[in-house]
Amino acid sequence: MKSLLERKKYHGYTPYTFSSDCDPGFGGADPAFGGADRIFQQAVPGAKGQLHTRISGASHCLQEDKGPELAQIIVDFLAHSS
């Protein structure tokens, strides 16, 4: 199965045209999406120029592995994007 970023359309949504600012957090030890952060940064216009924090010691479920760190990334992103 192709990933979301490898598809041209996903239920009518084209990820390549998503232009809102976004800074997704990625787990540094994520076995499912390891390295996908670099693809995401290149493919999604709103991801360009963001910090792109990789959370050390976090796997696929960031909110469970490193909840406070993920929350701080979100707070910082919102503070700088408004």
Residue with tokens 């999406």: 33
CA atoms within 13 A of residue 79's CA, in its CB half-sphere: 6
**What is the model's pLDDT at position 64?**
93
**What is the model's pLDDT at position 7?**
53
pLDDT in tens, the chain (82 residues): 555 555 555 455 555 566 678 777 788 888 887 777 787 777 777 787 787 788 888 888 889 999 999 999 889 888 887 6
**What is the model's pLDDT at position 12?**
54
- What are the residue boundaries of the structural domains of the chain, listed by start? 4-81
Architecture of the structural domain at 4-81: 3-Layer(aba) Sandwich (3.40)
